[in-house]
Chain A
């Protein structure tokens, strides 16, 4: 098992290296940070521009291979992912932002998964009854609505609520307030919670919707299976047969999906970050491209790829954990 895992990890590391190198070539050839400085007013001296770009190892006047060697050396010798054209350290930036994303996404992800699975299983048991039809219709509306619409609508609703109650109950700009906080104990915690409620709600709804669809389908398959009938024939009441036999089996694919998502938590949720002004990873990925930040793009790609592969590994482990048929063979 350990040998198998090590082999798998080595395989993934190679894959990741190739993918990131390709991303690096793509970013170096397609992004043009020089333009960023050439349009400045007052104009900057071309030699200064060249110096700035060389400092960041993104000058298109240096041969591509030399830049690649410099980049590789920086990473493998100093774990240095380079800087933005402006000189900000990419590694530091990402190190800070992944935790912002993590704080933003985790609760919504856990709640969304839990509620989604429960709702999916529940509606499957009540297939074609009114409750199933109502829930399924609402979920479909949610799935069909773009996430930024959901986000904006939630902000509009929150504004109305804030007006009604007469004070800022929901806060939706950033992770915490920038000004001075009231002086009661734990006011900083309360402030953070106020900021968290709305984005968490949006992420919960989005996660829940997807999982309800998935789990309902899986559960319907499991409910129709012979082994649930066998369990009922043994004398198990309907609820127990459903919970112990159908749900347990139907959770295997969901568990895999869950494990896979765990690793991608740090990559963030771009739209939600933008709407609620969280300085997380998702929005950073978009910003690096628009700001011609070559090293940033590559670092984000590498981090995303790493998360993806760790997720795949976790998913494999989860299957082995949940499904005895895989475990033993």
Chain B
């Protein structure tokens, strides 16, 4: 770091030595249901300067571990075991002693940048506080250092922005400020608890880059807590996989990804849809749910979900045992897994999804179930409490065209604020949009009478993102699924048989019908949501991020279910998601949105293999792939800054303010970009350029397009590029 104090201290621990050591850590706290054993015997050594990832699903104990290390666990939690930093025992230290370590030797970055900064103090105040708590430096000097730190983490105009309040920063900028604050005192260990989970992919890529830079500058060791296996592959040297409060596998990142020996790790890796997978075979599914860590039965906690389990597994919980140099697993069957070279497909048989004849009918010969033509949705921007007046317009969706054929899945992707959810809501509204046309099942939604609207509501259904919020907590599952049937005048007897049939269809049991939503896990609730959507035998289902709130192992089951239902019931899906890997897995065609416009649309194969719009390329390159070797060698396009406000979009091409191609253009070449939004034209034909080359090549006007290929792109300088 630069010249001002506090300068880099002499490290107490040399590079390559153990800086933080956790031995047999147990964290227990009381609850109404009984003792919650959140962490049950975790040990690891963290070497100076390395990055260790702790991976696990919700409830696996990973966040509790980080708080226990920081000494910030809830007061009623009991900690047993040992945590040593530079050989000094931390367990049992007083708050005063711990406070002198926190922020100085041990720093932490939290998940939600929106709530993790105090709203009433400026960013600068908060960084200065972090410095002055530990160092006797003057105010001017501390402020100077705060500006340097903000500069280091890539905040533009740090001199000015240091005086901003947190709410004036975007999510990505707040997380940068959090990192600046964490490295302010040059800590030895940084704990990052899901640091990018709340951020969009392009912002995630920026923040991860900043984190890497911060680590490089300070030489700190990092504990990266995450559920995202892609982030793990790209960021970590070593990995600890946790399940039900226990470490079940530890090893180098390559060991874990290429040579996993514990069925849970193997299942987790098999359950993630891969961005770079060219086939769309069903994903490996782990049946059931992670256990609650209250009153665990004896034996391995993974037994109920493990196809390899035998009687021995139920009797005694396996300890971590070495299976290779630096690689340990807690599984009685790890030798068999090695000897028989078992993969996720062998252990977790994926469902066979029958392809219907429908697939063989060419797209052009199928009916169009939904089409949007020049659809716009603008919202007025109002101001004033006494006299409300219109001060502007939010161009949420600004003219999009797309069509969806029977039996097809169209993925609509983009970052938050791009207008994908607005598009979906406009379709569900069944009214006329601000401008343009929405045609559902051949009927213009602006000209529907009451009867037609009701029929359309039957044939067009929706599945929402948050299965916790979208089900009425005071209605039993039966009533929730039966409600649409009642509305459409089904008889009582028919409703009952239909609900039972639906429960079976979505993989729930008939005995579940009388229970309330709170008795179900997230995945099961989403199944209820799907059953409700299917109740009236719809033809078109719009899905708003249906799997993004679910854990990885649960997500795969829902994706497979949706895939199976689509084939069996000949459904059409409009699938809104921000996860491009999920879309690649499930969709036939994909549309990429940016600031209310579609910038690229086409078949999944075309868009993923020959992405031609710089935004699509940046998105694809930003998504971490759960493959360490790929991650090490990948080229990334890092977009600058944040999404512009849809209330004040740039002139001409909406993407130009963040476009890496636009930056290289000569002023004459820029003219068309500045003047008009490029139209969606057939993507240029010809060979793909490697991403590395594409970045260094100077931009040329787009080549001629091939109209026979289903692939359109809106860019004057489009060039098919190989990103994956």
Contact = CB atoms under 8 A, between A and B. Distances in A.
Given A248-B120, A249-B118, A233 B103 contact: yes
A48 to B, nearest CB: 51
A7 B387 contact: yes
Contacts of A325: 119, 165, 167
A248 B110 CA distance: 21
Contacts of A230: 108, 110, 116-118, 178, 181
Contact of B101 (A235, A245, A248): A235
B130 A235 contact: yes
Given A233-B107, A233-B108, A328-B165, A227 B118 contact: yes
B108 A227 contact: no
Nearest to B70: A233
A234 B118 CA distance: 12
Contacts of B181: 230, 234
B159 interface: no
B93 interface: no
Contact of B386 (A11, A245, A249): A11
15 contacts: A226-B115, A227-B117, A227-B119, A230-B178, A231-B118, A234-B181, A236-B99, A245-B121, A248-B118, A323-B119, A324-B119, A324-B165, A325-B119, A325-B167, A328-B165
B72 A229 contact: yes
A237 interface: yes
A227 to B, nearest CB: 4
A248 B119 CA distance: 10
Interface of B: 70, 72, 95-96, 99-104, 107-108, 110, 112, 115-121, 129-130, 133-134, 165, 167-168, 178, 181, 386-387
A252 B119 CA distance: 11
A231 B99 CA distance: 10
Given A7-B387, A229-B72, A235 B118 contact: no
B116 A232 contact: no
A225 interface: yes
Interface of A: 7-8, 11, 225-227, 229-238, 244-245, 248-249, 252, 322-325, 328
Given A11-B386, A225-B115, A325-B167, A235 B120 contact: no
A234 B110 contact: no
Nearest to B104: A235
A226 B110 contact: yes
Contacts of A238: 95
Contacts of A231: 118, 129
Contacts of B100: 235
Contacts of A11: 386
Nearest to B114: A226
Contacts of B99: 232, 235-237
Nearest to A228: B118
Nearest to A251: B120
A233 B117 contact: no
A226 B101 CA distance: 20
Contacts of A234: 102-103, 107, 129-130, 133, 181
Nearest to B118: A227
Contacts of A252: 120
The 10 closest A-B pairs by CB, nearest first: A235-B103, A234-B103, A226-B115, A227-B118, A233-B108, A234-B130, A226-B116, A235-B102, A324-B165, A235-B133
Pick the most buried of B104, B115, B387: most chain A CB atoms within 10 A of its CB. B115
A32 B116 CA distance: 63
B96 A237 contact: yes
Contacts of B386: 7-8, 11
Contacts of A244: 129
B115 A227 contact: yes
A328 B122 CA distance: 13
